[in-house]
Amino acid sequence: MIRADDEAPGTIARVLTAAPARRQAIFSALAAHEVKAGVFDAGEDLFPQSFAEVIRHGRVADILRAAFGDVPEGYPGLLERIGERPLDRPGDYLAIHQMLARNDVRAADALRGAGRITRRKLEVLSALDVRWHHSNTLVRIDTGPEALTFNAAVNFVQSVSTRATDEAVAQAIALMRPTSTLPRLLDRLLRRADRMPPHPLPVGDDQLRPLATMRALIEAGRRYRNCLSHRLAEVAAGKMAVAEFRDECLVEFRPLTQGAGWILRDVHIERNAPTPLTLIAAVESKCDALGFARIDEVVGGDWKSYRRFTGELEWG
């Protein structure tokens, strides 16, 4: 910029007083020259007289043509959405230019609808799966790593639900309301899961009934008024299984390592109240008969009293 001002006095003042559209066009042109040059060389005429004059006196279209040659449709408009300050990296300007040059309509529309363009939004856009390019994701995801996590989270939902097609997920993103969040969106999609892992209790009976579908789990969570609805992902991933015992309690199973089967983990009643010891004993006896392992908790009555008294702290 200083060399350009030397060759065309008043260039810096022109940049400082220019409207956002013209200012960003100049920043974009300078970024293009910096990237093309690699590093500045004192012996190289990086800014020929004509280019400096264009920056000083030319229109937005003239400045961009001098730097890029071909200017994709919509590039000046996106530059204006950057605001008054330049982007942090010269490469960001070229990334926007290349995005439009390859006619990436979804990415361009996402940027147009996401407010002021920032380095953070460009990083998020780059990290996001192209299927989820939308202004509703750009304004709700803060970093590139978070975008990668979102990609993986959607992959998980799609792995357990045939209904979560690319089209269904993209439509759900597009229809998000201003107060909606991406975690809630994923939770809604997960609740439609129909590829549940095998239940450790393949066949139930009058006493112990497996909750093997998403609908059964959701209904049980409502009836028992506990946090089961927040554990649906664990069940869908095969990290947890739930059954109902005599319509009195929920029985939690956990898998052992190396495919060594399942273990009875806990027993829960309505509102996570302390579970009567007689009910726990009945569940344990039933699971013992079915061959489920469990932790031996016969270590003294005082400990069991403590567990019973503080049981409301669990599953809360």
The full 3-state SS of the chain, as one line of letters, equals CHHHHHHCCCHHHHHHHCCHHHHHHHHHHHHHHHHHHCCCCCCCCCCCHHHHHHHHHCCHHHHHHHHHCCCCCCHHHHHHCCCCCCCCCHHHHHHHHHHHHCCCHHHHHHHHCCCCCCHHHHHHHHHCCHHHCCHHHHCCCCCHHHHHHHHHHHHHHHHHCCCCCHHHHHHHHHCCCCCCCHHHHHHHHHCCCCCCCCCCCCCCCCCEEECCCHHHHHHHHHHHCCHHHHCHHHHHCCCCEEEEECCCEEEEEEECHHHCCEEEEEEECHHHCCCCHHHHHHHHHHHHHHCCEECCCCCCHHHHHHHHHCHHHCCC
Task: Give the span between the Cα atoms of 232 and 238, in whole angstroms.
Answer: 10
Query: Quick one: which of 103, 88, 102, 71 has its CA closest to 27?
Result: 88
Note the pLDDT tens digit of each residue in 158-201: 999 999 999 999 999 999 999 999 999 999 999 999 999 999 99
Mean pLDDT of 35-42: 46
Every domain of the chain and the residues it spans: 2-190, 208-313
Mean pLDDT of 34-56: 55
Length, in residues, of the chain: 316
Note the pLDDT tens digit of each residue in 4-25: 554 555 565 566 667 888 889 9
Confidence at residue 41, expressed as pLDDT on a 0 to 100 scale: 39
Confidence at residue 13, expressed as pLDDT on a 0 to 100 scale: 56
89 vs 245, which has greater pLDDT? 245
Confidence at residue 311, expressed as pLDDT on a 0 to 100 scale: 63
At residue 312 the predicted structure's pLDDT band, cuts being 50, 70 and 90, is low
At residue 44 the predicted structure's pLDDT band, cuts being 50, 70 and 90, is very low
Confidence at residue 16, expressed as pLDDT on a 0 to 100 scale: 60
Q: Is the pLDDT confidence value at 56 over 90?
A: no
β-strands 262-268, 249-255 pairing:
antiparallel
Q: Is the pLDDT confidence value at 47 over 90?
A: no
Task: Give the span between the Cα atoms of 24 and 21, in whole angstroms.
Answer: 5
Mean pLDDT of 205-224: 96
CB 197 within 8 A of CB 229: no
pTM of the model: 0.82
CB 274 within 8 A of CB 309: yes
Least confident of 45-49, 122-126, 168-172: 45-49
37 vs 193, which has greater pLDDT? 193
At residue 40 the predicted structure's pLDDT band, cuts being 50, 70 and 90, is very low
Confidence at residue 3, expressed as pLDDT on a 0 to 100 scale: 59
Note the pLDDT tens digit of each residue in 259-308: 999 999 999 999 989 999 999 999 999 999 999 999 876 555 676 677 66
- Across the chain, which distance is largest between two alpha carbons, in Å? 92
Confidence at residue 33, expressed as pLDDT on a 0 to 100 scale: 78
261 vs 47, which has greater pLDDT? 261
Confidence at residue 171, expressed as pLDDT on a 0 to 100 scale: 98
Mean pLDDT of 34-50: 49
CA angle (294 as vertex; 288, 299 as ends), nearest 5: 110
Confidence at residue 7, expressed as pLDDT on a 0 to 100 scale: 52
